[in-house]
Amino acid sequence: MFYFLRGLIFASATFSIIMFCLSFKITTQAAMALAYFSGIVAFLVGIGAYRCFKQWLYGEKDAETHKEEIGWKRYFQFTLDHKVIGVQYLVTSFVIFIIAVTMASIMRLELARPEMQFLSFEQYHTIMGMHGISMIVVALIAILGGLGNYFVPIMIGAKDMAFPRLNALSYWILPPAVILLVSSLFFGGFDFGWTAYPPLSVQGPLGKLSFLLAFITVGFSSIFGGVNFMTTILRLRAKGMDFFKLPIFVWSVFSAGIIVLLATSVVASSLILVVFDRAMGTSFFDPSRGGNALLYQHLFWFYSHPAVYIMILPGFGIILEILPVFSRKPLFAYKITAFSFIGIVILSFVVWAHHIFTSGMWDLLTIPFMITTELISVPTGVVFLSALGTLWMGQIRLKAPMLFALGFIFNFLIGGLTGIFNADVPTDLHLHDTYFVVAHFHYTLFGGVIFALFAGIYHWFPKITGKMFNETLGKIHFWLIFIGFNSTFLPMFWLGTRGMRRRVADYPPELGNVQLWVSLAAILIMCGVITFLYNMVQSSIKGTTAESNPWQAHSLEWQIPSPPPKENFEQLPEIKSLPYEYGRIPNRIL
Amino acid sequence: MEEVNSSDSWDNVEIGKIGIWFFILTEIMLFGAFFSSYVMIRWGSSVCALGRTAWPQTGFKQGLILALLNTVILITSSFTMVRAYAGSGNRDESFFKKYLLATILLGILFLLIKSFEYALKIHHGYFPGSSFLETNPGLTIFFSFYFMLTGLHALHVMIGVCWNSFLFRSFKVSGFSGQLTSKLEYAGIYWHFVDIIWVFLFPLFYLI
């Protein structure tokens, strides 16, 4: 706790001093950018990162000089253990998740009736953008950073990640970013949603700059994580663990890592250009001074479309990890599924322009992008086939993780099928920027990624905490969220086809009744989230002690005590077979 | 240690080396995004200056000479970096120290010349937002890209200089122990990459 507070004090002091000194010399925008990045460095020094890196650089021994506190205090310190970092990621993402849920509730209150209730347009837009970017960050970091960090090294039989310091660094630059993002509310907010299209993002209050800087920081964190995951999976596998013996979750993290490495710096480039336009007076996105506003959208979506696969691929991984365990059958078509992950990765890089069919792009290019977008449903279909083939004639146990996995399959099917209408140029011209799109991406990201996150957390909760969660509360949580989610977002498809625009706070009165229904149904989601949080906190404190392998699963993480000891394995294991050898294969299925 | 997964060729590569190459990959994508944006705008738009004839002549020649000088300096520094690496491989202390120091100094020299060139450009009013360029959108966007890309490259040179200086200090503190050779190799890969970026930047902004 001491290190964390010291970091915060260092950071805020540096930020204020530089901001104060420089704002007389240069523009406030440029001063803020410099002050923020210096603030991050100061935060890292305060938290103890500098010492840790110094030791590495000068070749001193870690154990002698780097002091790690014990117990819960480790979680507020520059700790190198990948399990601690995983939990840090998970808890942080739930803090951001709570912010996002609060923002969503305010939006639904405002949207419950036509006309404006209690917000101004600017406030509504800021709250909407805040909800958007918070959920994007949660979807990016919770599964990959949280569960990935915790379980990938254990699943491949390693003692830690390849670069423990880089791993801690990639987590610890997130808290300053989150603080800056939240504080942007006090710098005038940002009214461009989460996409920050210029020219809107180039003009206006300082809050927009905080958004951009925070986003760039998350990108950095993501890149560090990606480098780490790729190297870990390539290099630290246990003896005998060749690529086609990897658990499917590791495959999914590996595929997501490829996208992180290839795409994330491109979004950073687009945001850096906006920061330059704001702070340095350049003209990248100003057509009257030689720039091109559409350039931003191409750079932005070159990352941001593959980014949805960074979010969903680990989600697929979790689901395919859970289904064999709870239906007592081997994973169906393991190799083909692994290849289809790679197929998704390749295709995800050639579909980005389907976001800008209506932005004034060259018309001739729309058809190729439509075709590539629809092609991506082929490898995604293979993932579904694998999921359903695993369930087929299995002995299904409907525990909480399994319920969420099944809910994922249901929701993601709807999300995937409605994507076709957005990818088709003729229908997209009508549906673009309507609630149809809102419903579609909530079906894939909330119904998909967040359901997978819940499934993964229930599945691995006994391993992480060593305690058992309350199964009844878990089931209540599932049914609240599942029913609430579907009754909230299914009507939005209808709203979209009736012409309800997204990103607006006011709408025609004849849509009022359906909007009221949506707002009421969202209460169920709220109750579900509260049930979940209560269950997690209560069970991790007072839950009954869990056995090391409560689900009788075969993958490596269940073969060690819960919670895992510091270096995971007493002896590094040797792998002989796939982790999905559950009993017999039913007749004539394969 | 013998026959650990000998079928797997990845196991013969150092962990840090894989990491630094992945990092270089993301850097390539970053600079690639900027380069392609620049190329798209320069050749895709009607206003941006096409070819050298459209460029201002005052102060341009000096800039070209300075940039040429910088190209020579950076390429030489890549050479000295390799020599330093060879020196650390042979455990030759004075050789290593000489060449690593030369690399650091050449990097600093690059930055000094670069800042002199910036000052020259700003003195002539060639920067986005100046009253001189306000009437010329083509040059405004050209110098937007010029300052952003060379500035980003200069930031990379700065990081490289710091990295090499840390290694130099590390050598002073603990000599060749603590895998200095591997760390120097990672710094070298990064330094060559920064060099190569400049090799792309130089023709794009000064020659074509």
Is residue A565 domain-resident?
Answer: no
Are A272 and A346 within one domain?
A: yes
Are A157 and A114 within one domain?
A: yes
Are A308 and A285 within one domain?
A: yes
Is residue B94 domain-resident?
Answer: yes
A157-188 exposure pattern, b = at least 16 Cβ within 10 A, e = fewer: bbbbbbbbbbbbbbbbbbbbbbbbbeebeebb
Are A14 and A147 within one domain?
A: no
Are A348 and A419 within one domain?
A: yes
Is residue A501 domain-resident?
Answer: yes
Is residue A575 domain-resident?
Answer: no
The number of beta carbons lying within 10 Å of the beta carbon of residue B4 is 9
- Containing structural domain, residue B147: 12-207
Cis bond upstream, residue A198 (ω within 30) = no
The number of beta carbons lying within 10 Å of the beta carbon of residue A412 is 26
- Containing structural domain, residue A143: 80-559
Total domain count, chain B: 1
Is residue B43 domain-resident?
Answer: yes
Residue B141's φ and ψ, nearest 5 degrees, are -70, -35
Burial of B157 (0-12, 13-18, 19+ CB in 10 A): buried
Are A362 and A450 within one domain?
A: yes
- Tell me the C-alpha distance between B22 and A48, whole Å: 26
Q: How far is CA B139 from the centre of its chain?
A: 24
Find the residue in A nearest to B46 (Cα).
A290
The one-digit pLDDT tens for each residue of chain A (590 residues) are: 788 888 888 888 888 888 888 877 788 888 888 899 999 999 998 888 877 777 777 766 554 455 666 777 778 888 889 999 999 999 999 999 999 999 999 999 999 999 888 888 889 999 999 999 999 999 999 999 999 999 999 999 998 999 999 999 999 999 999 999 999 988 888 888 899 998 899 988 889 999 999 999 999 999 999 999 999 999 888 888 888 889 999 999 999 999 999 999 999 999 999 999 998 888 899 888 888 889 999 999 999 999 999 999 999 999 999 999 999 889 998 999 999 999 999 999 999 999 999 888 888 889 999 999 999 999 999 999 999 999 998 889 999 999 999 999 999 999 999 999 999 999 999 999 999 999 999 999 999 999 999 999 999 999 999 999 999 999 999 999 999 999 999 999 999 999 899 989 899 999 999 999 999 999 999 999 999 999 999 999 998 998 888 988 888 889 898 888 888 888 888 887 788 888 655 544 44
Q: What is the dihedral of CA A60, A62, A63, A67, to 10 degrees?
A: 110
Are A23 and A111 within one domain?
A: no
CATH number of A313's domain: 1.20.210.10
Are A283 and A157 within one domain?
A: yes
Amino acid at B92: D
Is residue A588 domain-resident?
Answer: no
Burial of A337 (0-12, 13-18, 19+ CB in 10 A): buried
Place of tokens 């990016």: A140
Total domain count, chain A: 2
User: Domain boundary at A48, A79, A110, which?
Assistant: A79
Is residue A577 domain-resident?
Answer: no
Query: Judged by CB atoms within 8 Å, which residues 57-116 of B form the interface with A?
Result: none
Are A361 and A276 within one domain?
A: yes
Is residue B109 domain-resident?
Answer: yes
Tell me the CA distances in angstroms from A223 to A46, A169, A282, B31, B100, one per residue in order. 23, 11, 27, 15, 29
Is residue B170 domain-resident?
Answer: yes
Is residue A567 domain-resident?
Answer: no
User: Domain boundary at A48, A64, A79, which?
Assistant: A79
Nearest by CB: A283 against B10, B23, B140: B140
CB B80 within 8 A of CB B102: yes
Look at phi and psi of residue B148 and say left if phi exceeds 0, alpha if psi is from -120 to 50, else beta.
alpha
| Global model pTM greater than 0.90 | yes
CB A502 within 8 A of CB A434: yes
Is residue B167 domain-resident?
Answer: yes
Are A188 and A65 within one domain?
A: no
CATH number of B181's domain: 1.20.120.80
Are A267 and A281 within one domain?
A: yes
Is residue B5 domain-resident?
Answer: no
- Judged by CB atoms closer than 8 Å, whether chains meet at A288 and B37 is answered as no
Residues near A259 by beta carbon (within 8 Å), at least 6 away in sequence: A306, A307, A309, A310, A313, A345, A348, A349
- Judged by CB atoms closer than 8 Å, whether chains meet at A59 and B140 is answered as no
User: Could you tell me the end-to-end alpha-carbon distance of chain A, in angstroms, rounded to an integer?
Assistant: 54
Residues near B2 by beta carbon (within 8 Å), at least 6 away in sequence: none
- Tell me the C-alpha distance between A541 and A537, whole Å: 6
- Residue A497 belongs to what H/E stretch? helix A471-497
Residues of A with CB under 8 A from a CB of B: 57-60, 162-163, 166, 223, 226-228, 230-231, 234-237, 239-240, 242, 261-266, 268-270, 272-273, 276, 280-284, 288-292, 295, 299, 302
Three-state DSSP class for residue A545: strand
Is residue B65 domain-resident?
Answer: yes
